[in-house]
Structure 1
Amino acid sequence: MLLGLALPTYGPDADPNPLIRFGRAAEEMGYDSVWTGDRVLAPVQPSAPYPSADGVMPREFERHLDPLTALTFVAAHTERIRLGTSTLNGLWQPALMLARSLTTLDHLSHGRLDVGLGLGWMPDEYTALGVPWARRGDRLEETLTVLQKYWTQDQLQHEGALFSIPKSVVGLKPFQRPGPPILLAAFSGAGLRRVGRRADGWLPVAMPLPAVMDSWAIAVQAAEEAGRDPSVLSMALRVNAHLTDMKARAEDVPFAGTLQQYIDYARSAAEAGVHELFFDFGLTSLTLDERLELAETIIKGVRTG
């Protein structure tokens, strides 16, 4: 199983030097990937609750770097480690602009990009950006089509319900061919089936492993029904760590737990068939030094037992 870390792209450490230090340290420790999230607003009174137990959006989200700019910056200061978005809200800009940005990053990083796309949870951001909240699934479907055409057609042309692109020459292509892997964040049946039909993989958030694998089975079945080889699909499991001093109840893991419980969870995930798992310590009260020390303990614990 591949292991990754979320970069400090939000909160107090969202600055150039911490990004460089964290990205280089992750690479030197042997991590396979680093990841960014996406948040464009922190409303004082959000119109929808944050998807957590208390429904309160973390204060750390009030300071949030642009995810693709941050990954490009980290790419320039690393050599091997893969660069992922979990998740990039891909509907907040026209599909053509998204295609150019992703292609540029994959090209400049020599093919290290993993594109994780999501739909977000807060209507306020869509309103502020002038993007309809309704029919998000349809917008994502057409966005995926435009990305595929941009990456594979020398002369791009598209006529859809949302986007109209005249026949145009596209000379810039991604380093990875036919394009960087696209993973989708999804929890509904329709979303999981879209993973199987159209994507290269799935971006779940950590939950009890039987629930992860049950949802994964829906995507796999959808791939088979669409005539695709499900073995090409992969999942990258995000773990938002909430560390406790005392051992948490088994049923509370992975929503909370000690460091050892998170190491055990990661090892169990590997045994269950999870392809990649990455930790986000951004919602802990740890300093950057403490986060890096934790990262080193985790990779040793997961890979050496």
Structure 2
Amino acid sequence: MRILAYFTVALLTLSVHAMDGYDPSNKINQLALTMAIVKHNYINDLNDNAIAEKAIRGLLSELDPHSAYLDVNEFDMLKDSTAGQVTGIGVEVTVDRGMIRVIAPLDHSPAKRAGVKNGDYITHIDDVLVLDIGFNEAISRIKGDTGTQVILTIMRPGEDQPRQITVTRELIKAPSIETDMLSQNIGYMRISYFGTSSSAEASKKLKALQRNHPNLSGLVLDLRNNPGGVLDSAVEVTDLFLDNKSIGYNRTITTAKERSMKVMQSYKAKTPDITNNLPLAVVINSGSASGAEIMAAALKDHKR
């Protein structure tokens, strides 16, 4: 099958070069010609929209591991996941060299209970090679109905042999914020990810922690294995720990810049510090990414 695929590609290449006036340096024309050849010669029938969508997915996937194209259904699934409710195994992933790399399993998720760890590479799903089906189809196969199982083949850095892990899918209702007391006066807040309701959750639980423990003298913020999430939520949670009237850097939490380094958007502190300058200790690890990195950096920059 692979020999046939390579042979087909070779024929397509010869067909392109055989055309009169073909200029290989004009990549826009080359793209249009390639799409036309695929439409008329590929073994399966593909309409213009299907070919264009594959071209868009390929373009964005080649930019960097963090860029991807989402169709309407995939965007709806993303919104469900950031709302803290989705059916699956509860793991945040990215694409890396065609494989799926685990950023972090969510707390209390089926993936974490089954032994999936941040940094794992998922190479097969139910014995199907991820490289053969692509990232989006692989994610679709990991998800499924509640109670069904999926077998993941995993390569773990530092290990020579792959391992198989069976995970039972569940409806994931993962709270993004958890609080506790580490001692009589040291509080603890675990932020698993930044979802659409994280800021409200964090504010409510912080106030309860302070109300129930009036002698609170310090707080540990645990961002380990937090893969990020919604940028606005990460900024809003960070803002809870900053005093908009006293911090420097023009109250800036983070900025979004375009290629020329011109600032497109600046996210600033807008509210007083809800903890009244309570001493903080922020804990991160290699699984802390995106919004978690922004929060840790902002709190450090503003000397919290």
The higher radius of gyration belongs to 2
Q: Same fold (TM over 0.5)?
A: no
Structure with a larger share of its residues in helix: 1
Please tell me the TM-score bracket, short chain as reference: under 0.3
Structure with a larger share of its residues in strand: 2
**How high is the TM-score relative to the length of structure 1?**
0.25
Q: Which has the higher contact order (CA 8 A, sep 6+)?
A: 1
